[in-house]
Amino acid sequence: MLKIEFLGSGNAAGVPVWGCRCSACLQAQTDPAKRRRSASLAIHTGEGVTLVDAGLTDLAERFSFDSVKRVLLTHFHMDHVQGLFHLRWSEEARQIPVFRPDDPLGADDLYKHPGVFQFQPPFKPFDSVEWPGFRVVALPLIHSRETFGYLISNGDYCMAYLTDTAGFPAETLSYLQRYPVDDLVLDCSEPPRESMPRNHNDLNTALDLWRHSGATRLWLTHISHRLDCWLEHSAATLPEGVHIARDGMLFEIEGVVELDNDT
Residue 107 in contact with residue 76, Cβ under 8 Å?
yes
Number of domains in the chain: 1
DSSP class of 249: E
Is 59 a residue whose pLDDT tops 80? yes
**Is 20 inside a domain boundary?**
yes
**Phi, psi of 183, rounded to the nearest 5 degrees:** -125, 115
Digit-coded pLDDT (tens) for 114-148: 999 999 999 999 999 999 999 999 999 999 999 99
Report pLDDT for 195: 81
Q: Is the pTM of this model over 0.85?
A: yes
**Is 206 inside a domain boundary?**
yes
**Is 81 inside a domain boundary?**
yes
- Domain enclosing residue 120, as ranges: 3-256
Report pLDDT for 261: 44
Q: Which residues pair with 195 in a beta bridge?
A: none
Report pLDDT for 196: 79
Segment 236-240 shows an average pLDDT of 90
Segment 25-47 shows an average pLDDT of 96
Report pLDDT for 254: 61
Give the rounded percent of residues in the chain with a pLDDT score beyond 90.
90
Is 253 a residue whose pLDDT tops 90? no
**Is 26 inside a domain boundary?**
yes
**Is 112 inside a domain boundary?**
yes
Segment 223-233 shows an average pLDDT of 96
Residue 71 in contact with residue 96, Cβ under 8 Å?
yes
- Average pLDDT over the chain reads 94
Count other Cβ atoms within 10 Å, centred on residue 172: 24
Digit-coded pLDDT (tens) for 184-210: 999 999 999 988 778 999 999 999 999
- What's the gap between Cα 211 and its chain centre? 20
Segment 60-73 shows an average pLDDT of 98
| Whole-angstrom distance, CA of residue 50 vs CA of residue 68 | 6
Is 260 a residue whose pLDDT tops 80? no
CATH code of the domain covering residue 175:
3.60.15.10
Residue 130 in contact with residue 112, Cβ under 8 Å?
no
**Is 68 inside a domain boundary?**
yes
**Is 261 inside a domain boundary?**
no
Peptide bond into 140 cis (omega under 30): no
Report pLDDT for 262: 40
- How many residues are listed for the chain in this entry? 263
Report pLDDT for 15: 98
**Is 262 inside a domain boundary?**
no
Helix, strand, coil abundance in the chain, percent, nearest 5: 20, 30, 50
Q: Which residues pair with 128 in a beta bridge?
A: 137
Report pLDDT for 263: 34
